[in-house]
Amino acid sequence: MSTARRSRKAPRAYERTMDIIARLQHRLKHGREAERRLVECILADLHFAAHAPIAQIAERAGVSEPTITRLARALGFPGTRDMRFHLAQALAIGGAYLRAPAAVTADLPPSGQIIAKIASGAHAALDLMTTALGEVDVESMARDISRASQILVYGTGGSSSMAAVELQNRLFRLGLHVTAHTDPQLQRMSASVLGPGSLVIGFSISGQASSVLDAVTIARQYGAGALVVTRAGSPLAALGDAVLPLTFKEDTNLYKPSSIRYALLAAVDILALATAEAIGPAVLEPLRRVRHSLASQNIRDPSLPIGD
């Protein structure tokens, strides 16, 4: 079982509270001409600046790549990687104000405000996940999944159990022997009959769900591998042979469902696609069979997804 490379180290206290947008706005007023052009480019499209290659950012801003490095250091970061991580955080924390400020406004009818809040939260969750997974060896995880003789997926609670069942839904159609368990007792019992060559995949947003922790511990005791999708630095992360880190920020709107569910679904789809590519053309036959099985329900449009 391979060990995934962990995400960046936990930020220091001053980094956690750093307002990178305010710092960029300050440099916009007091920086040199090339730096001001670069800052204008970044503020105009934070998503692009957080995720695009450095060369593309430099080209769009009309500056040299070293100018981006100098800006990162002027903002207080050791390099461009840390600066881009904080740009993604800024999108996640204040996406409703930074991505499309006109979308969340009192001028919208109530239904429009609700739609805008949910959409901006989903975008923010995906923005932050994209950056957090930049250095994670997803291909190695996918190879472990594709080679496992048996896969058990665990998740307890609303969001994590949803993700566990959805990963089962994604993997069985690739021809893999996979079962999801959301019942705490079944998680522990099923883990106890695993052995070498099998794999458990545990989901937990907090990384502290006791039944998932117990099941992963039991499975590893009998020689099974463990891949976990959870918060970096959590108790569950410490148990995994490989970790797909969940990075998220919640807002203070107690009426709105948590946007972390979109990050969980992204994690599921990332693992599913990477596994399909690891298996290669052999996945086409089980997918064809699944598609063929739906013909009896008159679901024949190939543009529709597999499954309703």
- For the four alpha carbons of 153, 155, 160 and 166, in that order, the dihedral sign comes to positive
Q: State the pLDDT at residue 230.
A: 94
Token duo for residue 119 = 């959409």
Mapped onto helix, strand or coil, the DSSP state of residue 63 is coil
| Fold type of domain 13-132 | Arc Repressor Mutant, subunit A (1.10.10)
Model pLDDT, residue 11: 46
pLDDT at 5: 41
Report the pLDDT value the prediction gives residue 164, as an integer from 0 to 100: 96
Reduced to 3 states (helix: H, G, I; strand: E, B; else coil), residue 180 is strand
User: What residues does each domain of the chain span?
Assistant: 13-132, 138-292
Low-confidence ranges of the chain (pLDDT < 50): 1-14, 96, 100-105
- Res 46: pLDDT: 83
pLDDT attached to residue 250: 67
The CB density around residue 233, as the number of other CB atoms within 10 Å, is 14
The pLDDT assigned to 286 comes to 87
pLDDT for residue 93: 65
CATH 3.40.50.10490 fits 138-292, yes or no: yes
Strand partners, 179: 152
Domains 13-132 and 138-292 share a fold: no
Using an 8 Å Cβ cutoff, are 260 and 35 in contact?
no
Whether 164 and 180 have beta carbons less than 8 Å apart is answered as yes
